[in-house]
Each structure stands twice: as structure tokens, then as C-alpha cells.
Amino acid sequence: MFTRITTIALASAGLLFGAHQASAFSVAANGGKDTQGISATQNLAPMISSEFGYQHSDYHDSDANLYSAGLMVHPWWTPIADVSAGLRYQYQDTDYGGGGGVGLVVAGFTKTPIPLVSVGAEGSYTPDGLTHGNLSSSWGASAQARVTLMARTYGYVGYRVQKSKFSGEGNHEIFSGPMVGVSVGF
């Protein structure tokens, strides 16, 4: 009896985990004046996802390429908002210098009274001491309004800022301005 219940429970958990993984991949593309990017997110386990991204900018005629990879945790106990936090490694290849670092990322989105619309923000900070190359520190922030277009697919508009400090070059704004994008989940 115990073996049968254990087998059924394990099989059910495996099916739920497999179903969760089957629809847990998304690709997003965004663009704005002087910047465009692409990113992908994959759920690794319940409440844990990985992310990979690339952003190009020629803001103020300065060429910059940002490559990132991160690991995020999404707690299930936040009924009001979809909250996540984690670590992100970002490498910056810019006219001011090149280097990378590991930083903290926090994001939160909540539904609005308008059906299918949510709003939220993301912030990241990479401190001096967790960087290499010419990068001394960096921070980024964004705010977005999302509209669900269909299951696991949404469009968004927002504003994004990325600033970095480079050894011997000081502080520089890598990009800043409005952005539009779309995210498609599979």
C-alpha cells in the first residue's frame, strides 16, 4: 500500500514538474532610440530560473555591448506581486573600457485594475569589488507596463537606464530612454 501511494505521488510530482518545465521558456526582444536587445529565460525548477541576455547601445555615439547571465529566485508566497531576486553576471564591452561583474537584481510586477495589464520595475547593482577589467561598478533600473496579448505572451513599454563607472574613465550613461518590447513564452 505504502509503495503504491509513494509511486503515485512521485509520478504525479514528476508529471507536474515536467508540465511546469514544458512551458517555462521565453524569449524577449526590445528596442528604443539607440538601443536594442534580446533575452531568454528558462525555468530550471519551481521558483528558480536562469536568464541570458544581450543589449547593444550606441547612445551618445558611444558603442556598447552588454552580455549577461543570471540566476533568479521567484518566491511563491507573494500573492500581491510577482517578485524575484537573484544574481546576474554582466560583461560590458564599451568605448570607455571593458569588464564585468556579479551584481544583485530585484524585480517586482503587480496586476492593475485594468484587465490584462501589469506594472513593475527592476533594479540591479554591481559593486566595486565584484568586478574585473576596467569596470568599477554599475547599476541599472527599468519600469514597465505590460499588456498580456495571449497566454505567456505580452507586449511592454517602459523606461530603462544603465550607468557604469570605469577605471580612469569615470561614470558614464550606457543608455537611457523609453523602450518597447515583446516577450513570447513556450
- pLDDT tens readout for residues 90-129: 999 999 999 999 999 999 999 999 999 999 999 999 999 9
Q: Please state whether beta strands 64-73 and 81-94 pair in parallel, antiparallel, or not at all (unpaired).
A: antiparallel
DSSP state for residue 47 in the 8-state scheme: T
Pick from 56, 53, 54: which is nearest to 32 by CA? Answer: 56
Supply the mean pLDDT for the chain. Answer: 89
Torsion on CA atoms 164, 33, 149, 22, rounded to nearest 10: -40
Q: Which residue has the cell 533600473?
A: 141
DSSP state for residue 59 in the 8-state scheme: G
Is pLDDT at 38 greater than 50 in this prediction?
yes
Is pLDDT at 18 greater than 50 in this prediction?
no
Q: Which residues contact 7 (CB under 8 A, 6 or more apart)?
A: none
Confidence tier at 3 by pLDDT (50, 70, 90): low
Report the distance separating Cα 92 and Cα 96, nearest Å: 10
pLDDT of residue 154: 96
Q: Which residues contact 56 (CB under 8 A, 6 or more apart)?
A: 35, 36, 37, 64, 65, 66
Q: Write out the CATH class of domain 25-185.
A: mainly beta
- pLDDT tens readout for residues 47-88: 999 999 999 999 888 899 999 999 999 987 778 899 999 999
DSSP state for residue 5 in the 8-state scheme: H
Report the distance separating Cα 43 and Cα 84, nearest Å: 13
pLDDT of residue 70: 98
Is pLDDT at 2 greater than 60 in this prediction?
no
